[in-house]
Copies of this chain bind each other. A is one copy, B any other.
């Protein structure tokens, strides 16, 4: 089944004159007023959707990413099924590393596994040779396919330098990231060089996606929350600032996301992104209080809450909306959708968020308070 066929069979003609700049996602990321809070879900195109599992039965993750038709198909599926306000390119943060020639495999149930982990300066060579247009042309091709078909913004993304460094150094996923932090403490110069090279990889990858038509960009610095604030500022922030600096001329709104970053939020705000993604541990009003006034936030329903009965999901989601307030908020989970999530729960969440009226909630709150 080809992508074109699937789309023409099931979707109506899309309005080509659609004004993407007015899309709620992009307005919210820029802190502008919106008619309704925009919502999308990290990993919305993943294993929770039968559409994705059907494609995965025929191709592994890298094969999907390298086939623009397949990648576009799984990117579009959640937009059609859930009614979210954004698509996020189907890919993986390790795709540029693999494209740069690093011997990397996604092992089901484990995650990215690297045959020869990073050990010394000589390992930097391969990273430095990365050219998206030559090494991963399928990514831009997928983006171009998608922007022709979608009527919502497409989010491009890349892995943050600390998170990619951690996969390279540990050789795979890790609970403690001990080797990564040990290298950071023991060989700070080498660590800085590695992060600087990984930042360049992220910039090249993100620019290629934006130039192909992505309307927003997210940096997934998922594991940076294992660091204390001083180490973050010293060892990770400089490379991160260089990333957002190098994207500024694109005029594409940016999101910076990590897990367990409560202690880091105020410093992360200094990296230069338009919005910060917040995990479920930090209440949205507490997150706001640590950020510059008016900075947009994204999040932060606990993904595990989506496994609970709808009444619980609803209550928790309403609390997120209430704490985040009406302006500059993109509703999302605090981390990726869990595979066992019922897509129907996500669809109801989209309806709930779209129907939520901050003014009415405030009034009702006042009435109840009386």
Contacts and interface: CB of A to CB of B under 8 A. Distances in A.
A231 B283 CA distance: 11
A361 interface: no
Interface string A281-317: 1110010000000000000001111011100100010
Interface string A182-203: 1001100000000000000000
Nearest to A309: B186
A227 interface: yes
A230 interface: yes
B178 A175 contact: no
Interface string A168-189: 0000000110100110011000
Given A175-B175, A230-B283, A280-B228, A182 B263 contact: no
Nearest to A304: B181
Interface in A331-370: 338
A262 interface: yes
* Most chain B CB neighbours (cut-off 10 Å) among A175, A302, A303, A316: A302
A283 B227 CA distance: 11
A272 interface: no
A112 interface: no
A1 to B, nearest CB: 33
A328 interface: no
A197 B363 CA distance: 42
A280 B229 CA distance: 9
Contacts of A117: none
Nearest to A175: B175
Contact of A308 (B186, B280, B338): B186
Contacts of A185: 302, 304-305, 307-308, 312, 316
Contacts of A283: 228-230, 263
Nearest to A226: B281
B186 A307 contact: yes
A225 interface: yes
A302 B228 contact: yes
A283 B305 CA distance: 30
Interface of A: 175-176, 178, 181-182, 185-186, 225-231, 260, 262-263, 280-283, 286, 302-305, 307-309, 312, 316, 319, 338
